[in-house]
Amino acid sequence: MHTFTYQETGATRAGPLPRGYDHLRHRARVGRGRAAFEAAGAAVTEWRMHRAAGTLVDASADRAEAGVAVEVTLRVGPLRFTAPCEVVWADYTPERIGFAYGTLDGHPERGEESFVVELADDGTVWFAVTAFSRPALWYTRLAGPLVRVFQRSYVRRLGRTLRRIAAEG
């Protein structure tokens, strides 16, 4: 186990999101029915969604569970940003599959982000991202609002990627 760089661990699960951070909430329809739900849930918790969206993921386990170390590397043109995290919580229920990871030392931000797939009563499969973060390193402080623009663009890309994975079943 590592030491998180923020105090409010688990807030993406229990809410409310803590003050003093930028908040991100994104929800997208990714499919319909149990098969799409299970395919999307597995893609999220087995890192396939992130990898299919072009993110490098190095995790200490094949599946998200509390305590799993995760290093996410994003490429933006010639630049590479490595973000060490640890899974804070994971849910595996008949209507909800997902996890959240929190930031560790060396991450460009401080905070937590959850990725959850939900099966609604009408059979609709939803993908939800909930996050709270603030800059931790000089370059994220310098980039200011551009970081938020990038984060929103990235979660929309994750949603499109997951929709494609769920459709393939």
* 108-134 pLDDT tens trace: 999 999 999 999 999 999 999 999 999
Among 128, 100, 116, 96, residue whose Cα is nearest residue 27: 128
39 Cβ contact partners less than 8 Å away, ≥ 6 residues apart: 31, 165, 166, 168, 169
The token pair that represents 23 in the structure block: 């908040």
pTM, two decimal places: 0.94
Query: Amino acid letter at 60?
Result: S
Residues 113 and 161: their CA atoms lie apart, in Å, by 18
Return per-residue pLDDT of the chain as tens, 169 residues.
679 999 999 999 988 999 999 999 999 999 999 999 999 999 999 999 999 999 999 999 999 999 999 999 988 788 788 999 999 999 999 999 999 999 999 999 999 999 999 999 999 999 999 999 998 877 777 787 888 888 898 999 999 999 999 998 7
61 Cβ contact partners less than 8 Å away, ≥ 6 residues apart: 68
